[in-house]
A and B are shown apart, each in its own frame.
Chain A
Amino acid sequence: MEKILIPVLISFAIATVCGVILTVSSKLFAVKEDEKFVKIRDCLPGANCGACGYSGCDGYAKALSEGKTDVTNLCVPGGDGAAKEIAAVLGVEAEEVVKKVAYIACNGNCDAAPRKYEYHGQMSCRTANMSYNGDKHCTFACLGYGDCANICPQNAISIENGVANVDPRKCIGCGMCARVCPNHVIHLIKDTSRVAVLCSNHDKGAVTRKACTNGCIGCGKCQKTCSHDAIHVEHNLAVIDYEKCIGCGDCASACPVHCIVEKCFRTDN
Chain B
Amino acid sequence: MFKTLILILMGGVLINNYVLQQFLGICPFLGVSKKVNQAVGMGVAVTFVMLFATAATYPIYAYILEPNGLSFLQTIVFILVIATLVQFVEIVLKKFIPSLFKALGVYLPLITTNCAVLGVTLNNITDGYNFLESMVSSLGVGLGFLLAMVLFAGVRSRIEMCPAPKAFKGLPTTLIAASIVAMSFYGFSGVIEGLLG
- Chain A positions near chain B (C-beta within 8 angstroms): 6-7, 10-11, 14-15, 18-19, 21-22, 25-26, 29-31, 122-124
Contacts and interface: CB of A to CB of B under 8 A. Distances in A.
A21 B84 contact: yes
A11 B95 contact: no
B161 A14 contact: no
A6 B161 contact: no
Chain A residues touching B, majority SS: helix
A18 B91 contact: no
A11 B76 contact: yes
A25 B91 contact: yes
Interface string B28-40: 0000000000000
Interface string B66-89: 001010110011001100100110
A123 B92 contact: no
B197 interface: no
Chain B residues touching A, majority SS: helix
Given A11-B80, A26-B91, 12 more contacts: A6-B70, A10-B65, A10-B68, A10-B73, A11-B76, A11-B77, A14-B64, A25-B88, A31-B95, A31-B98, A123-B163, A124-B161
Give the 5 A-B CB pairs with smallest separation, nearest first. Answer: A18-B84, A29-B95, A122-B161, A29-B91, A25-B91
Given A11-B76, A31-B94, A21 B70 contact: no
Contacts of A11: 73, 76-77, 80
Contacts of A7: 70, 72-73
B60 interface: yes
A216 to B, nearest CB: 32
Contacts of B65: 10
A18 B80 contact: yes
